[in-house]
Amino acid sequence: MIRTGCASMIRMPLAQRCSVLNRTFASAAAAQNSEGHFLLILGKPGGGKGTISGKILKDFPMFRHLSTGDVLRQHVMNGTDIGLQAKEYMDSGELVPDSLMIRIVMEDTNAAMKSGDSLLLDGFPRTKEQAVALDKELDVDLVINLCVPTETIVERISDRWIHSPSGRVYSYSYKPPKVKGKDDITGEDLVQRDDDRPECVRNRLMRYDEVTSPLVDYYDAKGVLKTFHGTMSDKIYPEVNTWLDEKLQ
Ligand code: AP5
Ligand code: MG
């Protein structure tokens, strides 16, 4: 999902969101030609990518946020062809095939890229093939790598509740909703993600180690990556903030 900072976006039909997504990519790429930035956030499943992204968006409102997991869950919720194809992979903790992911994310980015904001990409790329496809379109200039211990992640995921339409994330121990079981903004029900079952989480963590973790070296070699270690997003985030502040000067 792209968070535009505009609550009405959440209620947009998928087609309209896709059009915003297209414009976002076009504008982000063009922004690079001027002062814009292309920021990725890497990290294990449940490692706090969405949580840290939310904090970045508050402090650096020039970024638009695109979480491929949220986009896929929207497709599943809306019963689109993409959603039907993606669901079986997601529910078993497997990665959705590269061809489909690259199509979802890149399909419309070849369009002329004129002007716009910077982009924060959460959950893409997740394979070398996706990274190479992205490189063909854009120069990634900033990569945040969140390094959180696996024990911490397993605990947190069992306590995660989400508002499906928006992707907003809650946890009773860390960020409880104002009213138990209800989204703070819409009052709608919170649910647990289908892929947060323990056996699925184990598989997602394994896939991360095998397939996604090599991207850390890939971006490190390009000199654009910074790793942040820790167990608490509230402790990690001030360091992220300082680093971004320096880079965005
Ligand atoms: P996606 O939705 O991206 O899932 P993920 O990478 O597994 O990451 P999560 O969203 O589960 O965790 P997060 O790092 O955002 O952590 P969060 O902030 O929520 O992808 C889902 C699926 O889609 C994939 O498995 C795959 O099938 C498919 N997919 C997506 N992109 C793909 C791609 N490019 N290629 C192929 N397939 C793709 O935090 C976790 C919990 O911790 C929350 O409850 C939060 O409240 C809590 N928390 C955070 N900070 C703290 C703290 N300091 N203390 C206590 N709790 C905390
Ligand atoms: Mg997430």
Q: Kindly report the backbone phi and psi dihedral angles of residue 224, in degrees, each rounded to the nearest multiple of 5, phi listed first.
A: -115, 0
The answer, yes or no, to whether any atom of ligand 1 lies below 6 A from the CB of 218, is no
The answer, yes or no, to whether any atom of ligand 1 lies below 6 A from the CB of 209, is no
pLDDT confidence of residue 137: 82
pTM of the model: 0.84
Q: Does residue 178 belong to any structural domain of this protein?
A: yes
Decide: 59 and 51 in contact? Cβ < 8 Å.
no
C-alpha 29 – ligand 1 centre gap (Å): 25
Q: Which of 64, 126, 156, 168 is catalytic?
A: 126
CATH code at position 156:
3.40.50.300
Q: Does residue 157 belong to any structural domain of this protein?
A: yes
DSSP bridge partners of 15: none
pLDDT confidence of residue 180: 96
Which atom of ligand 1 is nearest to 161's Cα? 44
Q: Does residue 104 belong to any structural domain of this protein?
A: no
Which atom of ligand 1 is nearest to 196's Cα? 11
pLDDT confidence of residue 110: 47
Could you tell me where the beta strands, DSSP code E, fall in the chain? 2-3, 38-43, 63-67, 118-122, 142-147, 160-163, 168-171, 225-229
The continuous run of DSSP H or E covering 26 comes out as helix 14-33
Q: Which of 23, 49, 64, 156 is catalytic?
A: 49
Determine if residue 121 is labeled as part of a ligand binding site: no
CB atoms within 10 A of CB 208: 21
What is the C-alpha separation between 72 and 67, in angstroms, rounded? 9
What is the C-alpha separation between 2 and 18, in angstroms, rounded? 9
Q: Does residue 242 belong to any structural domain of this protein?
A: yes
pLDDT confidence of residue 79: 95
- Which amino acid makes up residue 160? R
Q: Does residue 46 belong to any structural domain of this protein?
A: yes
pLDDT confidence of residue 116: 61
Range of the domain at 187: 38-66+120-247
- Give the number of the ligand closest to the Cα of residue 126: 1
Tokens 């939310």 belong to which residue?
54
What is the C-alpha separation between 63 and 28, in angstroms, rounded? 9
178 is catalytic: no
Determine if residue 48 is labeled as part of a ligand binding site: yes
Determine if residue 95 is labeled as part of a ligand binding site: yes
pLDDT confidence of residue 66: 87
DSSP bridge partners of 229: 147
Q: List Cβ neighbours of 130 (8 Å cut-off, separation of 6 or more).
A: 98, 101, 102, 105, 124
pLDDT confidence of residue 231: 86
Q: Does residue 197 belong to any structural domain of this protein?
A: yes
202 is catalytic: no
Q: Which of 17, 23, 160, 168 is catalytic?
A: 160
The answer, yes or no, to whether any atom of ligand 1 lies below 6 A from the CB of 160, is yes
Total number of domains in the chain:
1
- Give the number of the ligand closest to the Cα of residue 196: 1
Q: Does residue 173 belong to any structural domain of this protein?
A: yes
pLDDT confidence of residue 36: 72
Q: Does residue 77 belong to any structural domain of this protein?
A: no
C-alpha 173 – ligand 1 centre gap (Å): 17
pLDDT confidence of residue 9: 38
Read off the tokens for 196.
Answer: 């947060």
Per-residue confidence in pLDDT tens, the chain, 249 aa? 434 333 333 334 444 444 444 444 444 444 444 567 889 999 999 999 999 999 999 999 988 888 999 989 999 999 999 999 999 999 999 999 999 999 888 765 544 344 566 889 999 999 999 999 999 888 899 999 999 999 889 888 989 999 999 989 999 988 999 999 999 999 999 999 989 988 899 999 999 999 999 999 999 999 999 999 998 888 899 999 999 999 998
